[in-house]
Amino acid sequence: MKETFTLGRIAGVRVAVNWSIIVVFLLVAVTLAQGRLRLTYPGYPAVAYWSLGLATAVVFVASVLAHEVAHAVVARRHGIEVEDMTLWMLGGVARLKSEAPTPGVEVRIAGVGPLTSALLGILFAFLAAVLGMLGVPGLMVEAVAWLAGINITLALFNSIPAAPLDGGRLLRAYLWKRTGDPMRAAVVAAAAGRGLGWLLVIYGFVSMLATGNLSELWMALLGGFMIAAATVEGQQAQLRSTLAGVSVRHIMTPDPVTVPAEMSIEQFLAAAPYGHHRHTAFPVVTTDGTLVGLVTAARIDRTPRQERNATTLGDVMCPVGEVATASPDEPVSDLVPRLESSGERRVLVLDPDRRALVGIVSDSNINRALTWLAATRTPR
């Protein structure tokens, strides 16, 4: 799920936002301020409706974030690192650096999300009841009650057995347990997600034509998101199946050409694109050989021509702490999500003991491996 911008980090995990959650945020605020709150409790000034509508929308997004944080916490407890979390229309996606090792772990990671939303729903329902007994204005009680209902709805919806929902991961775990084939289970879950998505699209359009209510198109839009996300999951499952048993060292470009951080862009370009400089991405090192970052042709091209003589490669590189890394013996299937989320579309391969640079992986390395594997392996 493509991100729009980054919110920040929680416990070292990057939190990103897809444009669809922004639309949902605005929709929640407008629907509450101009609809439910105003109709249920008329007579308040407009600023009261809008303030409470916006505040409720913020708490709703925070509830979605709590749902994803729960996934991340459980994954970490089972030794699985979390790449990032992206909030979007259906709730969110916590992207893991590796797959769950067993169906049981998959169930725990997937199930904790709907459980968290359900518990939040119960908590908000209890809070609404307490506020009502304390005589708090009904407008605020209504907003808290809405949060209770939406969290329960989020828990139920995410439990539907179809990818990319949490229920899809639960279905995958069940089929994995039954068949012993996690890749086949993932493909089935993705197919269920596409099927549900098409049902929502058809229902949305038919309802819109039958009622003349354009708001029914939101259901079709939701279905479209599910189809796209489930298709991506299915493709990734097939990719992992093809790359099964292949380690990073088998596909990486070993001993990549490095460039000194203190070299000016002008000096660097004088030697490109010939000889060693025929590549488009280069690890950047200091005079003592310490790896400090990665520079690409795209980053260099963004530097104005008049500034290239006074600007060094170290000035424009992506710092090593922001570059995706891998170890040589790591499965390529675990590397692919990192490569796809990398802004530089490169992964640096480091020796796990010395942390020394031993290789680099790009999309072309993956594509070459897939081409050869497809030609030499008999499909299952």
Q: Which residues are catalytic, by number?
A: 68
- C-alpha 69/C-alpha 61 separation (Å) is 12
Residue 378 C-beta-side C-alpha neighbours within 13 Å: 0
Q: What are phi and psi of 304, to 5 degrees?
A: -55, 140
Q: Are 324 and 341 in contact (CB under 8 A)?
A: yes
Rounded CA gap, 169 and 159, in Å?
9
Angle between the N-to-C axes of helices 19-31 and 46-77, in degrees from 0 to 180, rounded to the nearest 10: 140
Written as one letter, the residue type at 266 is E
Distance CA 217, CA 228 (A): 17
Report which of 118, 232, 226, 107 is spatially closest to residue 171, judged by C-alpha positions: 107
Strands 259-260, 253-254: pairing is unpaired
DSSP string, 309-335: TT-BHHHHSEEGGGSEEE-TTSBHHHH
Task: Find, among 74, 90, 82, the residue nearest to 18 by Cα.
Answer: 90
Contact between residue 316 and residue 287 where contact means Cβ atoms under 8 Å apart: no
d(CA 118, CA 154): 8
Alpha-carbon distance of 97 to 94, in angstroms, equals: 10
Lay out the sheet containing 324-326: strands in order across.
Answer: 253-254, 357-362, 346-350, 324-326
In 44-181, where does DSSP find H-type helix?
46-77, 103-133, 138-158, 166-179
Could you give the C-alpha distances from 199 to 189, 192, 202, 207, in angstroms and in order? Answer: 15, 11, 5, 12
